[in-house]
């Protein structure tokens, strides 16, 4: 009990010392390590400093890029992303599967040695209950990734059968997303969980976890700190790390200082330029890897928010007015400009050809005149106090304002807390804003279900957020999209994807600015090599302390 209290007190000290993100960090890591020891082997605590976008810790409601970092540590799925890959699925709780000739019935066979943190055995009934819970929460963003399931059943204790609404070439990959996390149904039901609608367990799941992963959620103070503790009942190989603390720290300079001083073991907010501050620093390793993280502008089609910005001609003018070369400079080495919603690394992903389809102010001004706004207008551009792999959104906003001034659009920048921007985004109340996107699972189907037109319960994430309705005029996007989603020949799938992106480029309410690489750093005197996985960011369950 003394050891546990010492760690909690150390965590509280860390929160106090690092709160505000720009002040004196102190020797917090030393305090944590020193207080954690007690008798016997010293308890090991790892501190990660960065800026997450966590809104909830409930895997059935998560839809944020950093959500899977937590869900992968606290929960298991049937399949998970293979360590060190960009989305390759491998068995986790499942041992094998079969799919029928129609491509719609998947049968999974489960391990019989998995237990939850509570000590309850994980069975097929927990899988069925967890899937049905999300299927009956259509208001959840995670529902987008699970609505392909028509029904799921458990013929015996360790067999699960999924029946899909249609063939889905991405289903195994889709299973790696947080929507398919397996919850301890008996425990969650005691706290308001339901698999038939009316679930009220989210508030409880925001404070703890009910999974079978290597860690348990000890506490979460939004915008400040997340604490994970080692699961004593973990069925797999136990970690040698007792506590992982994720400390919210918006300032990259503060992150760098914390790493240099030994107050943080991993920092996440770097880009190629800021990483240079760590050149030659003893016991610090800087690592760069590929990601599917992209930053883009959303221009709502809701005329009640802005009759000018909602005009498709104006939206095309914005795309033509943007200085893409300038955004590449801001983003740093390794960035690229996607043509639109399909990133490099996905089937048929296309980049914008800046020699033929870059900034064109003459055409942009002509489009503004055609729309009836040659003299321009004013609009509010909302951005969060957040960053895309080290590139501050406020910096992007200033560049957008500079670019659009060239076509007489006066941009008034509004900066808000990330959680408030997310709330307004989901309520579709902003006419113009900056957002980033990282896939929930690594397949183009995720992009299709997020970025094609469609509103309402059966719409898409950004169809709803941009009020981009599915109509007869844009139905061809879905004709191609559905072909991509079911095509199993990768060459043909890539060709269909390219055709879809070219058609999409003709009319959409977005401007895709950058696809970013990931640059992070860690203390090599405290950790073995750190593995980055773009789905779950730092692979917490792979960390090994020295």
Confidence at residue 24, expressed as pLDDT on a 0 to 100 scale? 34
Q: List, for residues 160-201, the tens digit of each pLDDT value.
A: 999 999 999 999 999 999 999 999 999 999 999 999 999 999
Q: For residue 42, what pLDDT band results from cuts at 50, 70 and 90?
A: confident
Helical residues (DSSP H) of 202-251, grouped into ranges: 202-205
Separation of CA 261 from chain center:
29
Separation of CA 150 from chain center:
25
Q: For residue 83, what pLDDT band results from cuts at 50, 70 and 90?
A: confident
Confidence at residue 41, expressed as pLDDT on a 0 to 100 scale? 64
Cα–Cα distances (Å) from 479 to 144, 207, 465, 482, 509, in that order, read: 19, 43, 22, 6, 19
Looking at domain 75-198, its CATH superfamily turns out to be Dipeptide-binding Protein; Domain 1 (3.90.76.10)
| Helix (H) or strand (E) segment spanning residue 79 | strand 79-81
Separation of CA 279 from chain center:
29
DSSP percent split of the chain into helix, strand, coil, nearest 5: 35, 25, 45
Question: How many other β-carbons are positioned within 10 Å of the β-carbon of residue 205?
Answer: 25
Q: List, for residues 16-30, the tens digit of each pLDDT value.
A: 333 333 333 333 333
Instruction: Write out the two tokens for 224.
Output: 């400040």
Phi, psi torsion values for 534, nearest 5 degrees: -65, -25
Cβ neighbours of residue 386 closer than 8 Å, sequence gap 6 or more: 51, 53, 250, 392, 393, 418, 421, 436
Cβ neighbours of residue 140 closer than 8 Å, sequence gap 6 or more: 60, 61, 63, 134
Confidence at residue 33, expressed as pLDDT on a 0 to 100 scale? 37
pLDDT higher than threshold 90 for residue 37: no
Comparing CA positions, the residue from 15, 526, 66, 539 lying closest to residue 260 is: 526
CATH for the stretch 294-515: 3.10.105.10
**Separation between Cα atoms, residue 319 and residue 327, nearest integer Å:** 13
Select the more confidently predicted residue: 28 or 346. 346
Q: List, for residues 262-295, the tens digit of each pLDDT value.
A: 999 999 999 999 999 999 999 999 999 889 999 9
Q: List, for residues 494-519, the tens digit of each pLDDT value.
A: 999 999 999 999 999 999 999 999 99
**Mean pLDDT to the nearest integer, 59-88:** 92
What is the average pLDDT value for the chain, to the nearest integer?
A: 92
Residue % of the chain over a pLDDT of 90: 87
Spell out the domain ranges in the chain.
Answer: 1-72+214-289+518-546, 75-198, 294-515
Q: For residue 311, what pLDDT band results from cuts at 50, 70 and 90?
A: very high
Confidence at residue 290, expressed as pLDDT on a 0 to 100 scale? 85
Comparing CA positions, the residue from 265, 287, 281 lying closest to residue 540 is: 265
Phi, psi torsion values for 280, nearest 5 degrees: 80, 0
CATH number of 1-72+214-289+518-546, picked from 1.10.10.10, 3.20.20.110, 3.40.190.10, 3.30.450.20:
3.40.190.10
Comparing CA positions, the residue from 477, 473, 446 lying closest to residue 461 is: 446
Cβ neighbours of residue 54 closer than 8 Å, sequence gap 6 or more: 64, 66, 67, 70, 220, 222, 226
Provide the 3-class DSSP secondary structure of residue 175.
coil
Q: Classify strands 45-50 and 266-270 as parallel, antiparallel or unpaired.
A: parallel
**Separation between Cα atoms, residue 418 and residue 414, nearest integer Å:** 12
- The whole-model pTM stands at 0.86
Asked if residue 328 lies in contact with residue 515, where contact means CB atoms within 8 angstroms, the answer is no
pLDDT higher than threshold 50 for residue 56: yes
């Amino acid at each position: 009990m003394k050891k546990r209290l010492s760690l909690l007190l150390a965590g509280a000290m860390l929160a106090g010392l690092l709160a505000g993100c720009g002040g004196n960090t102190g020797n917090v890591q030393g305090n944590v390590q020193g207080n954690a020891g007690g008798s016997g082997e010293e308890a090991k605590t790892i501190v990660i400093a960065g800026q997450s976008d966590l809104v909830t810790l409930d895997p059935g409601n998560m839809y944020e890029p950093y959500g899977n970092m937590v869900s992968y540590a606290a929960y298991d799925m049937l399949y998970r992303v293979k360590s060190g890959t960009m989305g390759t699925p491998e068995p986790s709780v499942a041992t094998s599967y079969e799919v029928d000739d129609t491509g719609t019935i998947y049968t999974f066979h489960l391990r019989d040695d998995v237990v939850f943190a509570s000590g309850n055995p994980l069975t097929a009934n927990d899988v069925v209950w967890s899937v049905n819970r999300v299927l009956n929460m259509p208001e959840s963003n995670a529902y987008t990734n699970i609505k392909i399931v028509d029904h799921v059943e458990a013929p015996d204790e360790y067999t699960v059968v999924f029946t899909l609404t249609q063939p889905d070439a991405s289903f195994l990959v889709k299973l790696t997303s947080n929507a398919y996390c397996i919850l301890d149904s008996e425990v969650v039901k005691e706290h308001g969980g339901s698999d038939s609608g009316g679930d009220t367990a989210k508030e409880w799941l925001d404070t703890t976890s009910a999974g079978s992963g290597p860690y348990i959620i000890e506490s979460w103070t939004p915008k400040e700190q997340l604490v994970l503790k080692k699961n004593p009942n973990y069925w797999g190989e136990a970690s040698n790390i007792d506590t992982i603390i994720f400390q919210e720290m918006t300032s990259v300079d503060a992150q760098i200082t914390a790493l240099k001083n030994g107050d943080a073991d991993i920092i996440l907010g770097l880009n190629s330029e800021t990483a240079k501050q760590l050149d030659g620093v003893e016991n610090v390793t800087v690592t760069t890897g590929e990601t599917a993280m992209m930053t883009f502008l959303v221009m709502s089609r809701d005329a009640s928010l802005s009759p000018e910005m909602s005009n498709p001609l104006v939206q095309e003018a914005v795309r033509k007015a943007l200085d893409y070369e300038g955004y590449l400079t801001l983003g740093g080495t390794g960035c690229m400009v996607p043509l639109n919603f399909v990133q490099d690394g996905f089937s048929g992903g296309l980049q914008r050809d800046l020699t033929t389809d870059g900034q064109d102010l003459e055409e942009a001004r002509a489009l503004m005149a055609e729309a009836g706004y040659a003299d321009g207008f004013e609009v509010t551009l909302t951005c969060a106090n957040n960053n895309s792999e080290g590139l501050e959104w406020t910096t992007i906003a200033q560049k957008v304002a500079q670019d659009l001034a060239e076509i007489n659009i006066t941009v008034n920048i509004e900066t808000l807390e990330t959680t408030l921007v997310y709330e307004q985004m989901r309520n579709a109340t902003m006419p113009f804003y900056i957002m980033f996107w990282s896939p929930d699972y690594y397949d183009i189907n995720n992009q299709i279900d997020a970025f094609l037109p469609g509103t309402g319960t059966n719409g898409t994430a950004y169809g709803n957020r941009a009020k981009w309705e599915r109509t007869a005029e844009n139905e061809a996007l879905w004709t191609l999209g559905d072909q991509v989603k079911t095509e199993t020949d990768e060459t043909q799938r890539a060709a269909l994807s390219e055709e879809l992106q070219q058609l999409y480029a003709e009319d959409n309410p977005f401007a895709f600015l950058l696809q970013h690489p990931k640059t992070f750093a860690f203390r090599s005197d405290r950790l073995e090599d750190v593995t980055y996985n773009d789905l779950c960011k730092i692979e917490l369950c792979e960390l090994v302390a020295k």
